[in-house]
A and B are shown apart, each in its own frame.
Chain A
Amino acid sequence: MRSITLGRYLPGSSFLHRLNPRFKLLLLLIALAVIFVLKTYAGFSLLFLLLALAAAAVRLPLRLLAGMLRPIAYIVLITAIIYFFFTKGGVVLLRLGPLTVEQAGLSAGFLVIMRLLGLVFMSMLLTLTTTPLDLAQGVAYFLRPLGRLGLPAAELAMIMTIAMRFIPVVSEESQRLLRAQMARGADFGGGFFSRARKFAPLVVPLFIGAFRRADELALAMEARGYRIGARRTRLREEPVTAADWGALLLALAALAAVIYFRL
């Protein structure tokens, strides 16, 4: 809970930063397909090697990486344990009373861990190298065809943008409330459930703060000439370059290779 990094942008000018956000979204889709097709140790080693190179190119600080992986570590662990114990087949590797870990369970659990980590890592790379506004704009681009069905794509993009912009603000506010309570002698220690119960009183002020903020923000947006449904331009109309097409083709080739060589 210390730092919610979802949607936090890491300023920079790496190869990934400079790709067109629309293409980056496509790349993410292809990469997801790759992850779900991959099933060998060699394939995953190759994938993580590539991801590590990308992280180095982006100059991703290790501290940030660790901070972002910590919240999902539990999910990964629990999922993996479920797979370890409940997928049956092959040689019995470990026997704990009535429970057994078998060959199939081990490899299924391993696959799940790799897939989850790959997924998180890649979405992280995307959000770290793309400003929320660009990201929202990219999503809105793909939603545009739905505009004919009455879906307000531009407004949705604005909503996403603002939600992302305010995640760090609200998380900072929760920290502030927490500190204010602690300064008055509140104790937020204890086990998971007792902590959850102690956090409950913070939720109400947090929500009230968020609503007040939303009110003021709406006013500020209006004052600056924002109107729903009006045509807008963008500070940066992202150009599509040869690098974008190159990256897309490479990704498609990688997907084809993974399928063809059964990696």
Chain B
Amino acid sequence: MPEILLEARKLSFTYPGEDGESPPALEGIDLKVAAGEYVALIGPNGSGKSTLLKLFNALLLPTAGEVFFDGRSTADARNIPYIRACCGMIFQNPDNQIVGATVEEDVAFALENQALPPPEIRRRVSEALELLGISHLAASPPHLLSGGEKQKVALAGVLAAASRCLLLDEPTAMLDPAGQAAVLETLQMLNRQRGITLVHVTHFPEEAALAHRVLVLHGGRLVKEGPPAEVLADLPLLRALGLKSTAAAELAWLLREDGFPLPRGIVHNRELVEQLCSYARRI
């Protein structure tokens, strides 16, 4: 049994409404994420994805149930410095998460909060900037950057902090295809080589397909979880929620409806191509 890093037990959360009773944003969530796991979180707008992320690093506290990080409850204020130092978070809107007056200072912010020695901070900052290919922006004021560049700055900030766990809220939503590919590659590298746990909220099925496990939220409830091949191949469910699967899965579904003997669980383009080629060779 691998070590559990994140855990939610019977978690429910309701935003304090202006007029008493608003519907809960999350309800009855039971969830475990192992250390080193890569989890994708999908679901329609307003299904509670961002809310769940904020509960994981104690920005929000459960209305009912409990959330644990590394076995420590987020409800205990003494655990919060530890949790925040271990959990890096990228917010959905890159504009309002940048604190520093220059890119460099912003990337250093979390490290300064951990009171690391300045030479160590400098080393890690330039490493992170290099990794994301934004070293040339080090001295720029953040408000002059494009949305995608801001997103990379935010990412560099959590990378520099060398967090054990990254909570990513649509980190590629504002990037161009090249930037998107670079970020996804970086994330996978961090996950594989450094064993960093990833919880990745996304509206792109292609991104969800990269994860080890996909969770589907709907109306604040966890409606399905499993490996991408299982969840992303469940087109009836995704369609009922107004979601889509990867292009390969959608195409495989159509082909199967037309009588092609394709197996279930195709989500990547490569898999579909291989299946079709081997089919062509057989006939």
Chain A residues whose CB sits within 8 angstroms of the CB of B111 once the complex forms = 233, 235
Chain B residues whose CB sits within 8 angstroms of the CB of A155 once the complex forms = none
Interface window among B16-24, B88-96, B217-225, B236-244 = B88-96
A234 contacts B118, CB within 8 Å?
yes
Q: Mark B92-123, 1 if CB is under 8 A from A, else 0.
A: 01011111111011001111111111100110
B91 contacts A169, CB within 8 Å?
no
A236 contacts B118, CB within 8 Å?
yes
A224 contacts B110, CB within 8 Å?
yes
A132 within 8 A of partner (CB): yes
B140 within 8 A of partner (CB): yes
A9 contacts B108, CB within 8 Å?
no
A213 within 8 A of partner (CB): yes
Total A-B pairs, Cβ < 8 A: 107
Q: Mark B165-197, 1 if CB is under 8 A from A, else 0.
A: 000000000000000000000000000000000
Contact of B108 among A168, A221, A235 (CB under 8 A): A235
A25 within 8 A of partner (CB): no
B59 contacts A222, CB within 8 Å?
yes
Given A222-B84, A233-B118, A235-B118 in contact, is the A132-B99 Cβ separation under 8 Å? no
A231 contacts B104, CB within 8 Å?
no
B226 within 8 A of partner (CB): no
Nearest CB to that of B96 among chain A residues? A216
B81 contacts A9, CB within 8 Å?
no
B26 within 8 A of partner (CB): no
A165 contacts B101, CB within 8 Å?
yes
Contact of B101 among A132, A172, A226 (CB under 8 A): A132
Contact of B113 among A11, A168, A219, A226 (CB under 8 A): A226
Nearest chain B CB to A158's CB is how many angstroms away? 9
Chain B residues whose CB sits within 8 angstroms of the CB of A168 once the complex forms = 141, 143
B99 contacts A235, CB within 8 Å?
no
A131 within 8 A of partner (CB): yes
A216 contacts B91, CB within 8 Å?
yes
B116 contacts A224, CB within 8 Å?
no
Given A9-B102, A233-B115 in contact, is the A172-B143 Cβ separation under 8 Å? yes
| CA distance in complex: A68, B104 (Å) | 26
Nearest chain A CB to B11's CB is how many angstroms away? 19
Chain B residues whose CB sits within 8 angstroms of the CB of A2 once the complex forms = none
A165 contacts B140, CB within 8 Å?
no
| CA distance in complex: A133, B104 (Å) | 11
A231 contacts B96, CB within 8 Å?
no
| CA distance in complex: A233, B95 (Å) | 25
A230 within 8 A of partner (CB): yes
B57 contacts A223, CB within 8 Å?
yes
What is the size category of the interface that chain B forms with chain A?
35 or more
Contact of B91 among A172, A220, A230 (CB under 8 A): A220
Given A172-B143, A235-B118, A235-B125 in contact, is the A225-B113 Cβ separation under 8 Å? yes
| CA distance in complex: A236, B107 (Å) | 13
B210 within 8 A of partner (CB): no
A232 within 8 A of partner (CB): yes
B91 contacts A235, CB within 8 Å?
no
A227 contacts B81, CB within 8 Å?
yes
B85 contacts A217, CB within 8 Å?
no
Given A161-B101, A233-B117, A235-B118 in contact, is the A224-B59 Cβ separation under 8 Å? no
| CA distance in complex: A213, B93 (Å) | 10
Chain B residues whose CB sits within 8 angstroms of the CB of A220 once the complex forms = 89, 91, 96-99
Contact of B112 among A131, A216, A232 (CB under 8 A): A232
A164 within 8 A of partner (CB): yes
B101 contacts A164, CB within 8 Å?
yes
Nearest chain A CB to B41's CB is how many angstroms away? 17
Given A225-B81, A225-B84, A233-B118 in contact, is the A169-B99 Cβ separation under 8 Å? no
| CA distance in complex: A236, B138 (Å) | 13
Given A224-B84, A235-B108, A235-B122 in contact, is the A217-B99 Cβ separation under 8 Å? yes
A216 contacts B113, CB within 8 Å?
no
| CA distance in complex: A222, B91 (Å) | 12
**A-B pairs with beta carbons under 8 Å apart, 20 shown:** A8-B141, A9-B102, A9-B141, A11-B140, A133-B100, A133-B101, A133-B105, A165-B101, A165-B142, A168-B141, A217-B99, A219-B54, A219-B59, A223-B87, A224-B99, A225-B85, A233-B121, A234-B112, A235-B125, A236-B122
Known: A11-B140, A233-B118. 12 other contacts (CB 8 A): A9-B102, A165-B99, A169-B95, A217-B96, A219-B54, A220-B99, A224-B109, A224-B110, A227-B113, A230-B115, A233-B112, A237-B118
